[in-house]
Structure 1
Amino acid sequence: MGMPSFPKPNNLPEAARLQRALAAKVVLQGSLEGLRYIAALDASHPTRFAQGSGVSVAAVVLWDCALGQPLQVAIAQIDESALFPYVPGFLSFREAPLYLAALAQLAQPPQALLVDGQGIAHPRGLGIAAHLGVHLDIPAIGVAKTLLLGRPEGDLPKEAGSVIRLMNENVQIGWVYRSRTGVRPLFISPGHRVGMEESLAFVRSLGGKTRLPEPLRLAHLAAGEARRKGQQSGQMCCGPILPGPV
Structure 2
Amino acid sequence: MKVANIDHWPGTPDEAVALQDRLRSLVVPENPRPPHFRTVAGLDSAYDDHGNVAAAIVVLDLDTLETVETVTARGTTDFPYVPGLLAFRELPTTLRALEKLTVTPDLFICDSQGLAHPRRFGFACHLGLLTATPTLGVAKNAWGDHAEPAPDRGSWTTITIDGDPVGRALRTRAGVKPVYVSVGHLIDLDTACAQVLALTPEFRQPETTRRADALCRQLLREIATGTA
The alpha carbon displacement at 1:6 in A equals 1.9
Secondary structure at 2:26 match in 1: coil
Alpha-carbon distance in 2 for matches of 1:231, 1:182:
37
Structure 1-normalised TM-score?
0.85
Q: For residue 60 of structure 2, what is the aligned residue in structure 1?
A: 63
**Which residue is equivalent to 1:238?**
none
Q: Look up the match of 1:178.
A: 171
| Conserved 8 A contact 1:45-1:227 | yes
* 1:16-35 alignment, distance < 5 Å: 16-30=17-31, 33-35=35-37
Structure 2 residue identity aligned to 1:195? D
Scaled by the length of structure 2, the TM-score of the pair is 0.91
SS in 1 for 2:41: strand
Structure 1 residues 54 and 119: alpha-carbon distance in aligned structure 2, compared to 1, 3 A threshold: closer
1:93 deviation in Å? 1.1
For structure 1, the residue ranges without an aligned partner over 5 or more in a row are 236-246
Query: What letter is aligned with 2:11?
Result: K
* Deviation for aligned residue 1:4: 6.6
Counterpart contact for 1:3–1:97, Cα < 8 Å: no
2:83 to 74, 83, 88: 88
Contact 2:152-2:174 within 8 A present in 1 as well? yes
- Cα deviation for residue 41 of structure 1 reads 0.2
Taking the TM superposition and a 5 Å limit, the aligned residue runs for 1:24-173 are 24-30=25-31, 33-46=35-48, 50=49, 53=50, 55-79=52-76, 82-148=77-143, 150-152=144-146, 154-173=147-166
The range that moved more, 168-177 or 25-34, is 25-34
Secondary structure of the residue aligned to 1:215 is: helix
Q: Of 6, 10, 16, which residue of structure 2 is paired with 1:7?
A: 10
* Aligned-residue offset at 1:184: 1.9
Find the aligned partners of 2:160 and 2:196 in 1 and give their Cα distance.
19
> Residues 189-208 of structure 1: matches in 2 within 5 Å?
189-208=182-201
Distance 1:117 1:65, change over 3 A: same
**What number of residue pairs does the alignment pair up?**
224
Letter in 1 for 2:153: A
Post-superposition Cα deviations, 1:119-160, rounded to whole Å, max 9, x if no partner, equal 011111110000010122111000000122x211x3322332
On the 8 A contact 1:121/1:189 being kept in 2, the answer is yes
Tell me, which stretches of 5 or more residues in structure 2 are unaligned? none
Aligned-pair distance for 1:234?
A: 5.8
Offset, 1:54: 5.4
What stretches of structure 1 move > 4 A for 4+ residues in a row?
A: none
- Counting only pairs closer than 5 Å after superposition, residues 224-239 of structure 1 correspond to structure 2 as 224-233=217-226, 235=228
Contact 1:3 1:100 in 2 (8 A): no
| C-alpha distance in structure 2 between counterparts of 1:130 and 1:32, whole Å | 20
Task: Classify the secondary structure of the residue corresponding to 1:173.
Answer: strand
Residue 204 of structure 1: how far off its partner (Å): 1.3
Superposed CA offset, 1:12-49 (max 9, x none): 22211110111110001106732212211011112xxx
Deviation of 1:97 (Å)? 0.7
